[in-house]
Structures are given as structure tokens and as C-alpha cells.
Chain A
């Protein structure tokens, strides 16, 4: 396990369709985060898991967005009824529960909604 992986790397979908992204964190990390990054901006926090518990959600996370981490390992982020404004890079990060909260980021999933 060399790092955080995300799948797919790119997703093109039509408006109104549902999409699901997967994140596999570094195996010994029990904290997992989702961020969204639009062009010319820094990552914006979406949600955070400690093991399988979703402990924090941003108000950016509308009811069309749902995230799960059922066994405390990989996580999925689903967007229902996608809108053009959902087009962005979706980043996953993980960190151990001790130390400086260094978050290790995956390469991201680039979503384009047509």
C-alpha cells in the first residue's frame, strides 16, 4: 500500500445522472476526508470519517451528496441528480489518529457534468 487511491480518475456524466466515487485510504489510517476542488481554488472540506463513523459534514454537502465508509476502510461518495455546478475535482485524504494530522491526499477524481 503506497498511498491513497481513488477510482475512477475521470468521470464524465450527463446532468441528472448519479455518480459514485471510491477512495481507498492508507491501510493503517483510521481518519478519512473528502474535499472538493474547483479550478483556481484550494480544496474545500466536504466530510470526515473516524473509522466508520461520519463525524463532520460541511454545509456544502447538500442532500444530493452522501458518503459512506461501511467497514472503516474504503469510502464511497455518491452524488445524485448531478448538476453542472458539481463539476470539480473530488479529493480523498487519510490520516492517522495521532500526530500532526498530516493528511495524505489521493490523486482525485475529476468529474465533468455535461
Chain B
């Protein structure tokens, strides 16, 4: 069925360290994946995306890795800052979904100063 899950519900890191947030997806037909950041009281905000024909994509301080063999997605945040504290969601999309996103449950990232 449609489901996107996360391995770790809460991640605490020290400011300046790198963070890795993981996500497992179950639909092998999904071909587009997105990471969203949601701060308290706000809607999800797009961070980075990746298509299934890629295995790595880099942005500013963030990198997304896709392993289709094991249906695993990860978000790496370099030099984590207090402003990175939020809930992070991975979401998947496939041609059969149209423009519908299927979200996972989320991981809470806490950055300690």
C-alpha cells in the first residue's frame, strides 16, 4: 500500500555537527521524493527533492541520498544550526499519484547549543 515511514522519531544533535535523517518508503513505483521541514505553527517548507533516476542531490548545507535497492531515503544536514530544529518529513510521489504527495510520520530534529 501507500506508506512512507521514518526510522527515528527524534534526533538530538549538537550545534555544528552533521545530522542524518532517514526515511523508508514502501512503494517501489514512486519516482519522486521530497524532504520538507516544518517548524512549530507553520506549514511544511520544501527543502530538497530528488528523482528516482538519481542517487544523490546536493543543496545548500543539505544532501539527499536515495537508495532504490532498499527503498531508503536520507537527508543530511551539514553544520547543523539551532534554526534547523523542526520536524522533517519525507514524501513520495509517483505517476499514478498525479500530483498527490504521500507523507511519512516525521522526525523531530533538536539542535543543542
A, B co-complexed: no
Q: Which residues of A contact B (CB under 8 A)?
A: none
Q: Which residues of B contact A (CB under 8 A)?
A: none
